[in-house]
Structure 1
Amino acid sequence: MNAGAASMDIEKMTASHERIAQIVDRCVAQSALSQSLCGLAHLRVSQINGCDARMDAHFLSLLGAGIAIEKLALVSDWRDAGTGLTPRERAALAWAEALLATGEARAAHAQYQEVVAVLEHDELVALSLSIALENARSQQAVAGLRGQAADTGTTNERAPT
């Protein structure tokens, strides 16, 4: 396959994936899940993946939506946040971490039990889809930055929090 054909295949695949992502975004937006809860989970996913650009975007979006900066500062260490986060917020952050963890079925099952205690089924489905999509987006962004760094001999990596 020549380089032009490979480039066209990647463009078609990217356009197809973006259409699917837009459908998922619309489904999540139409669900009962609050956008702020979803945004907090997205912030945590981007923190775990070490994606500065998406962390900044989510942070600013949540600030713009009226979420207190003090609450946003708690996201990376949410387990120690005490009453600074609601049970629903803690559950969403726990679920984000559980879905990103690999090979930890018992932990995911325990987190699932905690999440279903505070979220409705349709909220859990929307949150799960949203977390999966954000994981893909932030990992893609990080991979792109690493690729650019390899091309230039620099790095823009950040240790996951």
Structure 2
Amino acid sequence: MNRFHVHLNVADLPASLRFYTELFAAEPSVLKPDYAKWMLEDPRINFAISATGRTPGIDHLGLQVDSAEELAALGPRLDAAGGSVVPEGAAVCCYARSDKLWTEDPQGTRWESFHTFGDATSYHGAGAACASDGAGCTPDPAAMKPAPAQAAGASCCAPRSGCC
């Protein structure tokens, strides 16, 4: 089943933790010095905040899926939506290991579709080539090359190894 994902950049993590803990009536499921995540069932959302020095506000939106097959099934839908689809395989981001597909909507909002398959000990991997500024893990799809299959006009359906 898909879960909606929202990631906000925040300027004051302790104040934001207090606010969202009260709003959701739940403690974060993941809490790190620069990051927190709530995995809520009502509404079914993966809501994350981070204080990594980026401009406060929406960092990206997305869909989290439960399997590699569900992620692969999102590829053609993202492709049909019209943006460049950028696969990022085995990414280390937000203290998790995930395969991802990135795109942007017509307004430039970044969309991350992902399947998480493990935990990580850091916010982003060492030498995160896809990090747009080294402080976060959301690449700029407009600046990245689409997967070779998409560049040739075919659908981008599954993550590939590596990132850009």
Shorter-chain TM-score bucket reads under 0.3
TM-score normalised by the chain length of structure 2: 0.26
User: 1 or 2 for the larger relative contact order (CA 8 Å, sep ≥6)?
Assistant: 1
- Larger gyration radius, structure 1 or structure 2: 1
TM-score normalised by the chain length of structure 1: 0.26
Q: Per residue, is there more strand in 1 or in 2? A: 2
Q: Per residue, is there more helix in 1 or in 2? A: 1
